[in-house]
Amino acid sequence: MNFSNFPYSPPQASNFAEEHDLIFYALTGLTVFFTVIVMFFVVYFSLKYRAGKKVDRSRPMYENLALELTWTIVPLILGLIMFYFGAKLFIDMRNPPKEATEIYVIGKQWMWHVQHRNGVRENNTLHVPLGKPVKITMISQDVLHAFYIPAFRVQMHVVPGRYTSLWFIPTQVGEFHLFCGMYCGTQHSEMGGKVVVMDPRSWAEWNANGGESTMNMSMEQAGAQTFAKLACNNCHGAENNQRAPTLAGIYGKPRSLANGATRLADDEYLRESILRPHNVLTAGYEDTMPVYDKQIAERDVLNLIAFIKNGGVIGAGVPQTHSSSIANKLGGGVPTNSAEARGNAAPSVGAIREEAPKGP
Give the tens place of pLDDT for each residue, 259-312: 989 999 888 898 899 999 999 999 998 889 999 988 888 888 888 888 888 887
Residue 4 has pLDDT above 60, yes or no: no
Beta bridge partners of 178: 193
Alpha-carbon distance of 301 to 317, in angstroms, equals 19
145-198 pLDDT, tens digit each: 999 999 999 999 999 888 888 999 999 999 999 999 999 889 899 898 999 999
Which of 116, 148, 108 lies closest to 134 in space, CA to CA? Answer: 116
Question: For 173, how many CA atoms within 13 A lie in the half-sphere containing its CB?
Answer: 12
- Cβ atoms of residues 298 and 307 within 8 Å: no
Assign 22 a pLDDT band (cuts: 50, 70, 90): very high
Higher-pLDDT residue of 186, 360:
186
pLDDT of residue 62: 83
Higher-pLDDT residue of 269, 326:
269
Strand-pair category, 192-198 with 164-168: unpaired
pLDDT of residue 176: 93
The pLDDT of 211-238, averaged and rounded, is 81
Assign 345 a pLDDT band (cuts: 50, 70, 90): very low
The pLDDT of 117-145, averaged and rounded, is 89
Assign 80 a pLDDT band (cuts: 50, 70, 90): very high
Alpha-carbon distance of 124 to 235, in angstroms, equals 46
Higher-pLDDT residue of 317, 300:
300
Residue 360 has pLDDT above 60, yes or no: no
Averaged pLDDT of the chain: 81
pLDDT of residue 268: 83
Cα separation values, 4 from 1, 7, 17, 25, 317, Å: 10, 8, 21, 19, 53
DSSP state of 206: H
Neighbours of 161 (CB within 10 A): 6
Higher-pLDDT residue of 323, 127:
127
